Structure 1
Amino acid sequence: MLSRLFKPLLIAVAFALALAACSRIDLAYRNLDRLVPWSLGDYLDMNREQKVLLDERLKQHLAWHCKTQLPSYLDWLDRVRTMVAEDQVTDQALQQRTREARAAIGRVAEEITPSATELLRGMSDAQVAEMRQAFRDDISERQKKYVDTPLPKQIARRTERMEKRLTPWLGELSAAQRLRVQAWSQALGDQNRQWIANRAHWQQQLVLAMDQRSDASFEPRLAQLLQRKESLWTPAYRMAYQNTEQQARTLLVDLMQLSTPAQRQLLQQRLGKVRNDFSELKCLKG
């Protein structure tokens, strides 16, 4: 639930790394205060007091995020654009951009922890039970969608999803690029299993923390769940994650080496549009 509640606050960091095919990120950002309550409502039925608290804190966090964090994202986008323009999309450069993005996500996690603590501490036993059931449903649904299918089909679907994400940024992929995406998907193998198992592990840790939400230990425990999630990863997922990051960087390096001038120009245009969309936000100018 927490990931669904607060992940939208991180969209400004994550969009470029994930190459999300969204042409109006500025529009999505401006409407986060309306989108987030809907995502939370998928998990539990909030009472009026909780809805008021969520609305109030969300507005505060979004104002803080726009005024204090977005300027650094514009600089980050400029560094990405320079990488592309100077043909310096290397493994080392991508690792540095990833570290910068991870640090930005960490700042947001720290900012929202007190509000998350207050909101979750005020939940009733019935709401916690509702959360527990929602988590079970979430894992069951993901298990059916991503694991309970033959591995070749998982690989084919992953290939298709990545091609769909890449096309708005690079245009139509060449045959060599499509083959490279297929090789990337195959190299990830059965990672879906580790990903979902780790997700279930994190959710279980949150449920255990919720059982102690009246104790003084609750806030530091929640801070770990939000700010230092990697400390709670399962050993299998830790290995899978390292491989996933490595494979993603190698894929991006290879795709840029295989790219045409027209594709690089389109990528620059798209990155420039994203930067311009953010720079025109009223909260930034204010």
Structure 2
Amino acid sequence: MFNRCCFSFLKTLVLVACLTLLAACSASRLAYNNLDWLINWKVSDYISLTGDQKRWLRARTQEQLAWHCSVELPRYLPLLDHLETSLRDEQLDSSMLSQGLPRIETAVDRLLTEIAPTVSGLLRQLDARQVEELKANLQKKHAELVEKYVEPDLTTQHRERVDRAQERLEDWLGPLDKQQYARLSDWADQLQGHSSIWLDNRLAWQNAFLTAVENRGKPEFDQQITELLIEREQFWIDRYGRIADINQEQGARLLADLMNLASDKQKQHLTKRFSTLRADMEALQCTKA
């Protein structure tokens, strides 16, 4: 619930936006059905596509949304059931949550593997002007993230980190009580300084990505893009690699502690939230992939 996607351009382009269904509002069916429009619209934040490129991307996006809806979404239902059961355990341990992460990571990798050819296919079509535009917009986005997450003083960073996490948590649990808020604040304290490392890691990946794009005419380009998407850890900087597992464990402990402190009303809110999401997913009418 707290992860920030490191690769904004590719998050949009490669349909990771599909996974935001798991954090959408009660109108998630409507949101999902309009993802093809959203994805094509958001790509324009980074590249001004030609008419032919827009039509090509729109067609590929519709094909892959059909695949995702008909093939992948049914596989998410058991994941939701497992997560809900784990969260509602009478005495939840962080290891119960951590054990489910490989299943989620596998689902994400299936998605990225499926859409990697679309990513490389679109990038191959870019001319020199579009590549320069992409570079400039990625640099602009990086500067905005530095301004938002690194430049504020530590007190402000802490408060904003708590506020972001609280908003996401309360979507699932309803209002947090004082004890839960204090635990959330402790979690945020443990992450002091991590925004800078996260952004350094993001920039390292971004530079590797742009280097690959510069050589988009080479035969190995498709494989390079696939590796950038699937073998992400090989592009991590050392500092980020050292804290990634720690951050994951801290997040699991936080969720376990918050759920163990949850009131009956909060658990009822969680059950209703899962039920709504499950119903929306089951009601989707999928085009055959």
| Counterpart position of 2:283 | 280
Judge conservation of contact 2:187–2:254 (CA < 8 Å) in 1.
yes
2:17 aligned to 1, 4, 8, which one?
8
| Counterpart position of 1:254 | 257
TM-score normalized by structure 2?
0.93
* Higher relative contact order, structure no. (Cα contacts within 8 Å, ≥ 6 residues apart): 2
| Counterpart position of 2:55 | 52
Judge conservation of contact 2:95–2:252 (CA < 8 Å) in 1.
no
| Counterpart position of 1:131 | 134
Deviation at 1:213, TM superposition (A): 0.6
Aligned residues: percent identity?
34
Aligned AA (2:69): C
Residues 35-184 of structure 1: matches in 2 within 5 Å?
A: 35-87=38-90, 89-184=92-187
Deviation at 1:88, TM superposition (A): 5.6
Judge conservation of contact 1:10–1:108 (CA < 8 Å) in 2.
no
Deviation at 1:127, TM superposition (A): 0.6
Instruction: Indicate whether 1:27 and 2:30 are aligned.
Output: yes
Deviation at 1:161, TM superposition (A): 1.0
2:232 aligned to 225, 229, 233, which one?
229
Judge conservation of contact 1:146–1:192 (CA < 8 Å) in 2.
yes
Judge conservation of contact 1:209–1:218 (CA < 8 Å) in 2.
yes
- Count how many residue pairs are aligned between Structure 1 and Structure 2: 280
Provide, for residues 152-181 of structure 1, a one-character-per-residue CA deviation record: whole Å limited to 9, x for no partner.
110111011111111121111110000000
Change (3 A) 1:53 1:284: closer
Deviation at 1:268, TM superposition (A): 1.0
Aligned AA (1:277): D
| Distance in structure 2 (CA, Å) of the matches to 1:66 and 1:168 | 24
Provide, for residues 136-155 of structure 1, a one-character-per-residue CA deviation record: whole Å limited to 9, x for no partner.
10111110111011111101
Deviation at 1:21, TM superposition (A): 6.0
Change (3 A) 1:285 1:88: farther
Change (3 A) 1:285 1:56: closer
Deviation at 1:200, TM superposition (A): 1.1
Residues 173-252 of structure 1: matches in 2 within 5 Å?
A: 173-252=176-255
Change (3 A) 1:285 1:124: closer
Deviation at 1:49, TM superposition (A): 1.0
TM-score normalized by structure 1?
0.94
The unaligned stretches of length 5 or more in structure 2 are 1-8
Change (3 A) 1:207 1:148: same
Change (3 A) 1:158 1:78: same
| Distance in structure 2 (CA, Å) of the matches to 1:89 and 1:197 | 34
Deviation at 1:219, TM superposition (A): 0.9
Q: What RMSD over aligned residues (CA atoms) do the two structures have, in Å?
A: 1.6
The unaligned stretches of length 5 or more in structure 1 are none
| Counterpart position of 2:6 | none
